[in-house]
Structure 1
Amino acid sequence: MSAEPGRAATSVCSDGCCAAVDDGKRAVLTRRVRGLVAATIAYNVVEAVVALSAGAVASSTALLGFGLDSIIEVASAAAVAWQFSGADPRARERTALKVIAVSFFALAAYVTVESGRALFGGDTADHSTVGIVLAAVSLVVMPFLSTAQRRAGRALGSASAVADSKQTLLCTYLSGVLLVGLLLNSLFGWYWADPVVGLVIAAVAVKEGRDAWRGRHCC
């Protein structure tokens, strides 16, 4: 890519992720990533508080797990926020990717344990209107945040931003699973629907965690 007159073009290369971005565009994209990460953190903090509170009231393992997933998502987004708070975000990319990878593994471990508990001897959860509304709202909000951050990360050539967008996308899947599970439990008493799909999502989380650890989340 040729740079505009008077404006330097810098090649971004991190773990095989390369793009030529001029300084002006880089500044715009960096601010965009920071804003999206801040929005993700803020939303997930609220989501965690609501889910954990509703889960305790309804004795819902699924809702409690969803709330803890929100905390893990905050950790992942915070790693990207830390990376882009420095003068040279590229120098911090590898560390940020490691943190994101660990957050994927933590999510997979927790979902697996809680899905197992729900399938084999877990208490049957009560109906939770708050949980159903929360899952429905997250199912709308999370895809927007994930798509916007992934596009900005790809344009900037940031593997960590792309990896974190996939963490947010997994939260979208969990929102859908939670919504279906809560509805099936409320309407038909099918308590097993949520944990079965949760195990599938845990397997996907492990794969994404390996990719982040190896730096494969790229453009």
Structure 2
Amino acid sequence: MAIGGQSSNGSEEDGVRAGRVWVRQLAILSLVTAFAVMGLKFLAWWLTGSVALLSDALESIVNVVAACAALMAISIAHKPADEGHPFGHHKAEYFSAVLEGVLIVLAALLIISEAVPALFEPRPLDNSSAGIAINLLATIINAVLAITLLREGKRYRSPALQADGRHIMTDVWTSVGVVVALILSGLTGWLWLDPVIAILVAINILYHGARVVMSSLDRLMDRAVDPEEQALIERSIREEAEGAIEVHDIRTRIAGPARFIEFHLVVDRNMSVAAAHDICDRIETGIRRKVEGARVTIHVEPDQKSEPHGLPLA
């Protein structure tokens, strides 16, 4: 016997819709900014001829593609559940996040492919002051955007926004490394610093790209909620389960902003269906108050179904 549902009020639904609109607007802002930053970085490379600046500009092409993918994934993820996808389309964002990670790795490989030849044939830099100024402007724009995407992506549990934010933050560190390379090359005359720093930045980007890919793949494998959220769910059940005997087999999985929660609730075998349903409603409401995006399914069982590993409630 399974009891559970998705009761909600109008204000909650309005808040969810407003959050979705804001997440999509941020994805659009990320795409527009990616185009603007790409233009600035290619201008900086054209003025200086720096291989580090060229590697930075090449990574910006990847940023544009990634921003397009993030916007598309967010648009799909926000579609309501339908007959073919009764649990919704939340996981679309994870596919975007995996692509972001792959593109980060690709950007690092592009940087290395440009830097290694320049390591053996260093080139003098022109108009380095202008290149530094333009690159710093692009870096500041990217840093503000990355911090915003990471903060809001975490707030609204958007894997695509968070991956995009991490991607852009790697671009920020790339740009910082490029500026350091240009300044040191200008002060010391050591032209080999330009490609060396570009390669070091690429190695750092490879590491972050691999982390994004592994994390996103893990979420696609129906990863459970973290221990803190699990403890919050168990506490909510205990607080609202008056009249029940035990809960066991609590299972959870994450899908974008949604948290799917399922467990078995043991009650007295003589309890009426209506009384058991009232307990389930209280528990579900309590969980939804504490865990945003919770989708709760409760399997009600008679007391002879108690399990040794169950959590006593009485």
Structure 1 residue 209: Cα displacement: 2.1
Task: Give structure 1 stretches of 5+ with no counterpart.
Answer: 9-21
- CA change 1:50–1:148 in 2 (3 A) is closer
- Taking only aligned residues, the RMSD between alpha carbons, in angstroms, comes to 2.7
**TM-score, structure 2 length as denominator?**
0.57
Name the structure where helix makes up a greater proportion of residues.
Answer: 1
1:79 counterpart = 2:69: yes
1:49 aligns to what? 39
Q: In 1, are the aligned partners of 2:34 and 2:67 still within 8 Å (CA)?
A: no
1:23-71 CA distances to partner (integer Å, 9 max, x unpaired)? 4333333333323332232222122223224423432222222211111
1:68 counterpart = 2:58: yes
1:185-213 CA distances to partner (integer Å, 9 max, x unpaired)? 33332323343333333223222222222
Give the one of 18, 23, 27 matched to 1:37.
27
- CA change 1:48–1:7 in 2 (3 A) is same
Aligned length in residues:
204
After superposition, residues 18-37 of structure 1 pair within 5 angstroms as 22-37=12-27
- CA change 1:115–1:24 in 2 (3 A) is farther
Q: Secondary structure at the match of 1:75?
A: helix
Q: In 2, are the aligned partners of 1:47 and 1:134 still within 8 Å (CA)?
A: no
Name the structure where strand makes up a greater proportion of residues.
Answer: 2
Alpha-carbon distance between aligned partners in 1 of 2:165 and 2:29, rounded to the nearest angstrom? 12
- CA change 1:192–1:35 in 2 (3 A) is farther
Structure 1 residue 168: Cα displacement: 0.7
**TM-score, structure 1 length as denominator?**
0.79
Alpha-carbon distance between aligned partners in 1 of 2:168 and 2:193, rounded to the nearest angstrom? 22
- CA change 1:200–1:85 in 2 (3 A) is same
Larger Rg: 2
Alpha-carbon distance between aligned partners in 1 of 2:191 and 2:20, rounded to the nearest angstrom? 44
1:59-104 CA distances to partner (integer Å, 9 max, x unpaired)? 2222222211111111111111111222255141232122212211
Q: Secondary structure at the match of 2:199?
A: helix
Task: Give structure 2 stretches of 5+ with no counterpart.
Answer: 1-5, 81-88, 220-225, 227-314
After superposition, residues 1-219 of structure 1 pair within 5 angstroms as 6-7=9-10, 22-86=12-76, 87=79, 90-216=90-216
Higher RCO (CA 8 Å, separation ≥ 6 residues) = 1
Amino acid at match of 2:130: V
Q: In 2, are the aligned partners of 1:149 and 1:165 still within 8 Å (CA)?
A: yes
Identity, % of aligned positions: 22
